[in-house]
Amino acid sequence: MAILPPSEGWFQQKVAKDEKIWMGLAFVVSVFLFFWMIIWHVYAKQNPSFTTYRTTPEEFYALTEAFINKYKVGEENGVPVVKPPPGSDVFLLARQFRWEPVVILKKGEEYRFHISSLDVLHGFSLQPVNMNFMVYPKYDYVLTFRPTSAGEYAIVCNEFCGIGHHMMIGKIIVEE
C-alpha cells in the first residue's frame, strides 16, 4: 500500500519471476547503451570532439580576420567568402546576428573548424544535414568536419542570442 508503511518482512519478500526477468533485461539494455557510446567513439565517424581551446573574443576576432584575408575569394550579401585548402584550420565566427565567413569546402576532405562567439552563446545548426553544436564566447570549439555530400548548406543559429536571432543565418558551400 503506497500510503501506509510496508508490511513486516517486506525486505525479505521474494521477487516475482516476471519482475526478475524484466529487471535483468532492463539492466542489460542499460549497460549496453553505455558501452555503445564508447564503441561508437572508437569505430564510428560522428562524434563530438575532444578539443576546446581557451581564447578571448579579441584574439578569436583577430584570427578570423587574418583567416579571411588569407583565403578570401569574394563577398556575398556583405559576408566575405573564403576558400581554404583541404586540411586547413577554418575559423568561423558567430556574433549578434551573423556568421562569418561563408566557407567553400571540397567534398571528402577534412577541415579543422574553430568555432567561437564574440558576444553571447549561439547555436551552430547545419542544414539540411541537421548537425548541431554549441558556440560559446571565450571558448574555441574545434570540430574536424569531412563533408560527405556536395551542395549549399545553411548555418542556422539555434540558441537564442537576442532580438535578431531569427536573422542569423550563414552558409557553407561544398564543391565536388
Partner 1 sequence: MAVAIEGGEKWFRTCDVTGFRVDVRAEKIAKLNAVMAVVSFLIAVIAALLLVLTRWQLFHVLPVDWYYRVLTLHGLDALVFWIIFFELAALVFGSTAFLNTRMSSPAVGWLGTILAIVGWLLVNYTILTGNADVLMTSYAPLKAHPLFYLGMILFAVGALLIVMVFFANLMIWRRENPGQSLPLFVYGLMAAAIIAVITIASGAIIYIPTFLWSLGIISDIDPAVYKLVWWGLGHPSQQINVAAHVSVWYLLAFLTVGGTSINEKVSRFAFILYIIAINVASAHHLLVDPAVSPVWKVWNTSYVMYLAVFASMIHAFAVPSAIEVAQRRRGFTKGLFEWLKAAPWGNPAFSGLMLSMIIFGFIGGITGVVNGMEQTNIIVHNTLSIPGHFKGAVVGGTALAFMSVTYYLIPLLFRKKIAFYGVSKFVPWLFGIGIAILAVSMYILGAFGIPRRHWDITFSGGPFTYTFNPVTDFFWALFGIGGLLAVLGALIWIIQVVVSVFFGQPFRGPQDLQIPIAEPPPAPDKEHEGFAAPGTFALVLLFITAFVIFVALNYGWLSAMWEVK
Partner 2 sequence: MSEERKTPGLQLFFDDFMLLLFLGVAVYAVSYLIWGLIEIAWLPPIPDEIKQALLGR
For partner 2, which is the closer residue by CB, 75 or 89?
Answer: 89
Cβ 67 to partner 1 shortest distance, Å: 18
Q: Does 92 bind partner 1 (CB under 8 A)?
A: no
Q: Which does 79 bind (CB under 5 to 8 A by kind): partner 1, partner 2, none?
A: partner 1
Contacts of 7 (CB under 8 A, 6+ apart): none
The residue range among 27-35, 51-59, 97-105, 124-132 that interacts with partner 2, by the rule CB under 8 A, is: 51-59
Buried b (16+ CB within 10 A) or exposed e, 25-47: eeeeeeeeeeeeeeeeeeeeeee
User: Minimal CA–CA distance to 133: which of 52, 76, 58, 64?
Assistant: 52
Q: Does 140 bind partner 2 (CB under 8 A)?
A: yes
Interatomic CA distance for residues 61 and 71, integer angstroms:
16
Q: Which does 89 bind (CB under 5 to 8 A by kind): partner 2, partner 1, none?
A: partner 2
Single out the residue of 66, 73, 154, 167 in contact with partner 2 (rule: CB under 8 A).
66
Site for partner 1 in 131-160 (CB under 8 A): 131-141, 143-149, 154, 156-160
Interatomic CA distance for residues 99 and 28, integer angstroms:
45
DSSP, res 119: S
Q: Does 139 bind partner 2 (CB under 8 A)?
A: yes
User: Minimal CA–CA distance to 83: which of 114, 104, 113?
Assistant: 104
Residues that bind partner 2 (CB under 8 A): 8, 11-12, 52-55, 59, 62-63, 66-67, 70, 89, 91, 114, 139-140
